[in-house]
Structure 1
Amino acid sequence: MRTLFAAIVVLCLGAPGALLPDRAHAQGDNPVVVELFTSQGCSSCPPADAFLAQLAEQRDDVIALALHVDYWDYIGWPDRFAQHAFTKRQKGYARAGGWKTLYTPQAVIDGQHHAVGSRTGQVSALVDQHAARPSPVALEIARDGETLQIRAMPKDGPVGPVDVHVVRYTDSAEVDIPSGENAGKRLTYTHIVEEWDVAARWDGTGEFTAAVPVTGPAGVVVLVQSAGYGPILAAARLR
């Protein structure tokens, strides 16, 4: 485990009606979103990276997303997948949740609870806990060519305000790391987030629809999340 002192302490450790067009169609089925904040420059992270891949492979009810942060780049190896936006997202969770520390590897489950990403039992227990909760939002997404159609509706009354996020990710990549804490290792990373955009702010009442341009073969995830880094209320994916 490594510690970095900064501004915050950082440790290295009704339903919708007719379905959308069925070309590359995905319906929200109450999956649990596991965001892993990780870094190629963190020696504690490879077990968590491997567990994220295992979790996603073994559980159809998990949407796994690896967000590579940039605050360990200075120690000798710049993570080629890292984006400062992911560091900002992790800090946003910490502020919203009153968490006094950031750490890698950190798993955030449905935007609400967190655990060390390599503590497999703790992460699995949190996933089970969230999987048992019904989603308050019915969500459907479909891709038709280069257009992503999004449709959402609250099930039992208003849920807003919420943000509708569109996430693009790469299934896997192998990386040779010649320097830094993981020097000499060839590591496999999965569910690597490449793009993260807030497509819309929705008031959480009535039906929400949107058409968003998407290009390329990368996987697509849509999240409906309470504004201000709150709980993730619904999620859907296209692979």
Structure 2
Amino acid sequence: MRYFLAALSVFGVMHATQVAAQDDPVVVELYTSQGCSSCPPADEMLHDLAKRDDVIALALHVDYWDYIGWKDIFANPAFTARQHAYARAANATSVYTPQMIINGVEQVVGSRPMQVMDALQAQREAGSLFDLQLTRREGAVLIAAEPGQGGDYAVQLVRYIPEETVDIRRGENAGRKLSYANIVTSWEVVAEWDGRSPLAFEAVAEGDSPIVVILQQSTDGPIVGAAVLR
């Protein structure tokens, strides 16, 4: 784990370069693949969701479509494992693309806009248990939250590329030039938290790409808090 505890002094916060605004954003995880012919509509929808201030939209590219002729350049077996963990938690027998998992609890087909919007609205109305405050400093991010409901929470640090276009030459999408939004490059558990004491620590976050922090019951349960520094 790449993190260390740090006191969040008033001086440190005042000299931060950027602070996240809080408005209970809903986390949308899209499980997708460049080798999946059904995925482009969901990828386009994620572009729209990525523009919303009340949504943290994340594209996790899986690797189980790579065998049919095109290797997804963004695919990560860890994202496939995360999707399988959600399936086990929901007692599902299989995984698929495009799938959207919303706040860790709502699982919908990612190419069905009405289902996605209904799930978003439900989670928006439910709100979050915790408000996260993020402060970016050179090479690090300060993560803070007030205590509340006790539990077994994973503090997760996510980095992503805002947008990239890919010329796909083989597989089901051969000949298409497709644009992808908020492409996750890393997803790391940086701490565990019981929710009963103040959360305050500094995690390594090098580079200037966006930073997302997600509080989640275990790593495959409900998301109870999230914030982003774009």
Common fold: TM-score over 0.5: yes
Q: Is the 8 A contact 1:27 1:139 kept in 2?
A: no
* 1:222 lines up with 2:203 in the alignment: no
CA distance in 1, matches of 2:218, 2:17: 30
Per the alignment, in what secondary structure is the counterpart of residue 175 of structure 1?
strand
Runs of 4+ residues over 3 Å off in structure 1:
16-22
* Shift of residue 101, structure 1, vs aligned partner: 2.4
CA distance in 1, matches of 2:211, 2:219: 22
Which of 71, 81, 92 is the matching residue for 1:78? 71
So what's the TM-score if we normalise by structure 1?
Answer: 0.89
More deviation, 205-214/191-200: 205-214
Hey, which of these two has a bigger chunk of strand by percent? 1
* 1:118 lines up with 2:136 in the alignment: no
CA distance in 1, matches of 2:194, 2:9: 19
Q: Cα deviations across residues 185-230 of structure 1 (Å, max 9, x unaligned)?
A: 0000010000110000111111011101111121110000001411
Per the alignment, in what secondary structure is the counterpart of residue 132 of structure 2?
strand
| Change in CA separation of 1:176 and 1:144 when aligned onto 2, cut-off 3 Å | same
| Change in CA separation of 1:20 and 1:128 when aligned onto 2, cut-off 3 Å | farther
| Change in CA separation of 1:152 and 1:17 when aligned onto 2, cut-off 3 Å | farther
* Shift of residue 17, structure 1, vs aligned partner: 10
* 1:198 lines up with 2:189 in the alignment: yes
* 1:165 lines up with 2:150 in the alignment: no
* 1:42 lines up with 2:36 in the alignment: yes
So what's the TM-score if we normalise by structure 2?
Answer: 0.92
Q: Is the 8 A contact 1:36 1:67 kept in 2?
A: yes
Per the alignment, in what secondary structure is the counterpart of residue 137 of structure 1?
coil
Unpaired segments of 5 or more residues in structure 2? 1-7
What's the C-alpha RMSD, in Å, of the aligned pairs?
1.6
* 1:25 lines up with 2:16 in the alignment: no
| Change in CA separation of 1:210 and 1:17 when aligned onto 2, cut-off 3 Å | closer
